Amino acid sequence: MMLDRIGLIIAALFVGGIVIFLLPIIDDVMNAESGTTFQILLAVGVLAGVISFIRKQKKNLISKALTR
């Protein structure tokens, strides 16, 4: 139970870090500076990875709760 909460806290901190990482990229897009396309693709890829990681964690938590 405690490890599940720690995992969720780590995931939340990770998502918060991704949001902080995305803010300057969004600002660059608004200013239309060169070289932002790669940054956008990188950020989208990282965000997709984080979302899939959280979904897997959710499934693990649900299956653990059902087996108890």
Q: Give me the number of domains the chain comprises.
A: 1
- Structure confidence by residue, pLDDT tens digits, 9-67: 777 777 777 777 777 777 766 666 555 666 777 778 888 888 888 888 777 776 777 77
Instruction: Please tell me the total number of residues recorded for the chain in this structure.
Output: 68
Residue 29 has a pLDDT of 67
Q: Which range of residues forms the domain containing residue 56?
A: 2-67
In this structure, are residues 32 and 64 in contact, taking their beta carbons and an 8 Å threshold?
no
3-state secondary structure of 32: coil
Task: Give this prediction's pTM.
Answer: 0.41
Cα 15 to Cα 34: distance, rounded to the nearest angstrom:
26
